[in-house]
Amino acid sequence: MASNKVVVCGAGFLGSHFARAIASSTKSNCQVQISSRHPQKIYDSILRKSPELVESGRLLPPVPGDITRPDTLKEMFKDASTVISLVGLMHGSPEDFDRIQHRGAENVARAAQEAGAKLIHFSAIGADIGSDIPYFKTKGLGEKAVLVENPKSTIVRPSLVFGPGDGFFSKFATMSSFMPFLPVFAGGTTKLQPVYVGDLASLVEIISRNDPALRSIVDGKIVEAGGPNVLTYYEMMEIVLKCKKRYRPILSLPYAFGIVQGFIMEKLPENIFTLSRDQVKQLKLDNIVKSHDPSFRDLVEEYTGRKLASVHDVLPTYL
């Protein structure tokens, strides 16, 4: 029976991959619990694909809770040795971003501290309390609140995350099936450093291990996570088309067009074309790893013995 309990707080794309990776690991020896407002769907998905994780006791029944209601977090984090906080929002008002990415992150950090659990908090490259973009500003405020409430937390800032079920490459692959072109803004020169979800899962599994030497390296630190490839937005559209074996022109649009599109799409139900004005502003900024210690690449490669996964190798396996 596993001796450590890891709570994955957030049941989306990242949460499902992380839960499966940690529960399957023979090195971390952990039980995993998925928690969110509606965790049953992700739990059932893992159960269908990996029933042995439930049979072995490695995947625990899900426990619902709400990060905006601190009174629900005590039960979520009961007996936890590690909490992985995936609180985040892609679309919403400035108030929504503050409620989830700032105050919600603060609630999770405080509850994890009270439970005596190690906290791994997921933020984003570009997090900055001085930003005029609510997403980045509240990510920065969330980081600050986390370190106040739980000073030994490890903060992970990933670049664009890719893998089966992602919301970027999969989205444009679908769009290429019915659109006559793929769009980029201002030539698509913005640089990103896509990171494979499996490598991020390896990182959280490694940090979840009861290893005092490793804790001394990552406690209270920020780990910026990017993959081995730095690519422009335009280059990423080229890769999507190559994987799908389709020819489509890549059309460069002015940022002003994106702002108008965002103004309209913000008012409609979320769909494959959803784009906000703030997301257009984000696309003006490079999203690549700066120099940080400890190094994401070094941690993953040292503890797993393998290289970081490349976009060129992984995308064809699921697109």
Mean pLDDT value across residues 163-167: 88
Enclosing domain of residue 205: 4-161+195-226+289-308
pTM of structure: 0.92
In a domain, 280, yes or no: no
Strand pairing category for 118-122 and 154-158: parallel
Return the closest-CA partner of residue 70 out of 124, 34, 41, 113.
113
Rounded to an integer, the average pLDDT of 113-133 is 95
d(CA 242, CA 205): 33
pLDDT for position 58: 92
Choose the most confident range, by mean pLDDT, from 47-56, 89-98, 132-141.
132-141
Per-residue model confidence as pLDDT tens digits over 281-319: 888 899 999 876 789 999 999 999 999 999 999 999 988
Q: Which CATH number does the domain housing residue 296 bear?
A: 3.40.50.720
Look at residue 11 and tell me whether its pLDDT is greater than 90: no
- Residue 134: is the preceding peptide bond cis (ω within 30°)? no
Q: Quick check: is 300 in a domain?
A: yes
> Does a structural domain hold residue 124?
yes
SS (H, E, C) the chain: CCCEEEEEECCCHHHHHHHHHHHHCCCCCEEEEEECCCCHHHHHHHHHHCHHHHHCCCECCCCCCCCCCHHHHHHHCCCCCEEEECCCCCCCCHHHHHHHHHHHHHHHHHHHHHHCCEEEEECCCCCCCCCCCHHHHHHHHHHHHHHHHCCCCEEEEECCEECCCCCCHHHHHHHCCCCCCEEEEHHHCCEECCEEHHHHHHHHHHHHCCCHHHHHHHCCCEEEECCCCCEEHHHHHHHHHHHHCCCCCEEEECHHHHHHHHHHHCCCCCCCCCCCHHHHHHCCCCECCCCCCCCHHHHHHHHHCCCCCCHHHHHHHHC
- The answer to the question of residue 185 being in a domain is no
Number of domains in the chain: 1
Q: Is residue 282 part of a domain?
A: no
pLDDT (tens digit per residue) in 215-271:
889 999 999 999 999 999 999 999 999 999 989 999 998 888 888 877 777 776 777
244 within domain boundaries: no
Q: Is residue 319 part of a domain?
A: no
pLDDT for 3 equals 54
Read off the pLDDT of residues 65-95 as tens digits, 9 standing for 90 and up. 999 999 999 999 999 999 999 988 888 888 9
Residue 79 belongs to some domain of the structure: yes
Tell me the two tokens of residue 318. 């699921």
Buried b (16+ CB within 10 A) or exposed e, 180-196: eebbbbbebebebbbbb
